[in-house]
Amino acid sequence: MKSLTLIAVLALATMPAIAGDIHGKVAAHGVRNSADAVVYVDRIAGKTFPPPTEHAKYDQKNMQFVPRVLPVLAGTTVDFLNSDALLHNVFSPDACAERFNLGTWPQGQTKSFTFKKECFASLLCRVHPEMEGFVAALPTPYFAVTSADGSYHIKDVPDGSYTVKVWHPTLKAAEKKVTVAGATEANFEIAK
């Protein structure tokens, strides 16, 4: 009996923590809508997350970066596709993204870059200066981007206490401590 109890305790101890989620709304003030805010769980002490082998996709279509904001886990390689019938370039002026410049390429072709460090990298196109996109290379795989009404949903977050941060391309960042226990709601307000 003692052996069975010990086995049961060991089995429970080795099971992953129960996964919950973080959801809520980000109210962005001073901008047209509340879209494009990245909500993410900040570094977790003692935890590291290997980057995915699968590449993330970033499109240039109708002379826009699509999506405008792409969150990835730091270390992820992003493939930049040109879907327009004209030339596009992709470069970043940010040091955390090694100020990469992938050159200029035509429709249908893809070029890739690996975001090795945590970074909020601006993406620009020298051919079309009005184009702007962002890659958010984050410390954990727990992230989401808000929709126009500000809602977001981060799935499969283990129960526990975390610092949850919000980053937006033009507004000041925000953060708060969140204790996840199953479905957990956390709302934010951000402004200039």
* Nearest distance in Å: CB 28, another protein: 9
Q: Where does this chain bind another protein (CB under 8 A)?
A: 29-32, 92-94, 122-124, 129-132, 169-171, 191-192
User: Are the C-beta atoms of 148 and 126 separated by less than 8 Å?
Assistant: no
* Nearest distance in Å: CB 150, another protein: 15
DSSP state of 148: T
Instruction: Identify which of residues 93 and 108 has a Cβ nearer to another protein in the complex.
Output: 93
Provide the H-helix boundaries in the chain.
2-14
Instruction: Identify which of residues 22 and 35 has a Cβ nearer to another protein in the complex.
Output: 35
* Nearest distance in Å: CB 155, another protein: 30
Region of residue 99 (phi > 0: left; psi between -120 and 50: alpha; otherwise: beta): left
Instruction: Identify which of residues 164 and 171 has a Cβ nearer to another protein in the complex.
Output: 171
Instruction: Identify which of residues 28 and 72 has a Cβ nearer to another protein in the complex.
Output: 28
- What are the beta bridge partners of residue 119? 137
d(CA 157, CA 80): 29
* Nearest distance in Å: CB 93, another protein: 4
d(CA 104, CA 69): 21
